[in-house]
Structure 1
């Protein structure tokens, strides 16, 4: 089933740091510390696994505030905001949001052949990138400036053992394949992302997903061919 809770944290970036690499295969994160009225929030952004064949893909680009629709208005109200999983709530969906969706998805209702997909990504100004966890971390860190306003979309921590405020599942949350442990959490309009506001009011976006996740999904968020 989709997440019980989904929303966005609006606040000010205090600092960020990476997980310490280890040999246990844990998911590797860039950790954001975000100040909001309830306190300092810990936001864990997935940027690959230290010892897993399941890699991460990411993209960064800039959008004017108006292109984000209702989401941009939340910057004026710091704190955590619960979002209905609908197109007009401010929720994000990598597949369906007109400013986030791959352009090839607009042209094709089914995945194009691999050679054509590669060509489309070459001419697309917003291609997905693949690389190491360090590459992904560097891409995210390039848009992080302490004191900057940030919007972090994902699932709030409800059962953190340390009692932390914050967000996790800050990545695509649909398209996981049948048989995976995350299949049951697939859903539309519940994707995570990290947005930082520039001095001119525009937003830099960091979108991230796992290489095992499909970029074509049905109404339940499950992958389609």
Structure 2
């Protein structure tokens, strides 16, 4: 079933750090610490794939705050979001501000001249590579002191009782037979956003190589 709780954390970036090799089992994270009125939150952003020999996919771009709807003006702290359009929830495949309008999928970054053309026409292709490549794409936007928005699922069973967010990645399109099939759902995708000095937001979206680019109304893959 989809997540019981889904939402966004709004706060001030304290710092970030990478997992040490094998520290989190098979997968690798960039750990983002965010200060909010309730305390310091630990947010685990996945930058490795469920099929780690293939690698994670990601994209980065910049949005005006108006494209984010009501979440752009939320007070600092964690906020539950209804998994539906208009609530501020994110869906990589349905949210008009996130959908790649080019319909083009690149496995590697295109040549600079082609990237310039894609940017001109509003294309936002996915990139693929190692966890180091993905971390390097995310980290420039993680500037201490910036306001950040982290979308995902709040920790509910952390053994140390820490505040935090996980499932900060696409949360739909996992294939039948996978251990994540039951968690597929629409309008519950995770993401990491950082507000620039000009008021716009840098956006980092990330998904696993095993997840589909087209899903039904339950978030399950369709051909």
Is TM-score (shorter-chain normalized) higher than 0.5?
Answer: yes
Q: 8 Å contact 2:41–2:162 — kept in the other structure? A: yes
Q: 8 Å contact 1:14–1:34 — kept in the other structure? A: yes
Q: CA deviation at 1:55?
A: 2.0
Q: 8 Å contact 2:54–2:129 — kept in the other structure? A: no
Q: CA deviation at 1:127?
A: 1.0
Task: Map 1:150-169; keep pairs closer than 5 Å.
Answer: 150-169=148-167
Pairing 1:61–2:27 present: no
Q: CA deviation at 1:80?
A: 0.2
Q: Distance in 2 between matches of 1:94 and 1:50?
A: 18
TM-score by length of 2: 0.90
Q: Equivalent residue for 1:38?
A: 38
Q: CA deviation at 1:27?
A: 1.2
Q: 8 Å contact 1:23–1:51 — kept in the other structure? A: no
Q: Distance in 2 between matches of 1:104 and 1:213?
A: 19
Unaligned runs of 5+ in 1: 106-115
Q: Equivalent residue for 2:210?
A: 212
Q: CA deviation at 1:117?
A: 4.9
Unaligned runs of 5+ in 2: none
Q: Equivalent residue for 1:99?
A: 97
- Higher deviation after alignment, 92-101 or 61-70: 61-70
Q: 8 Å contact 1:9–1:79 — kept in the other structure? A: yes
Q: Distance in 2 between matches of 1:22 and 1:51?
A: 15
1:129-151 Cα shifts (integer Å, max 9, x gaps)? 00110000011101110000000
Change in 2 beyond 3 A, CA 1:66/1:23:
closer
Q: CA deviation at 1:17?
A: 0.2
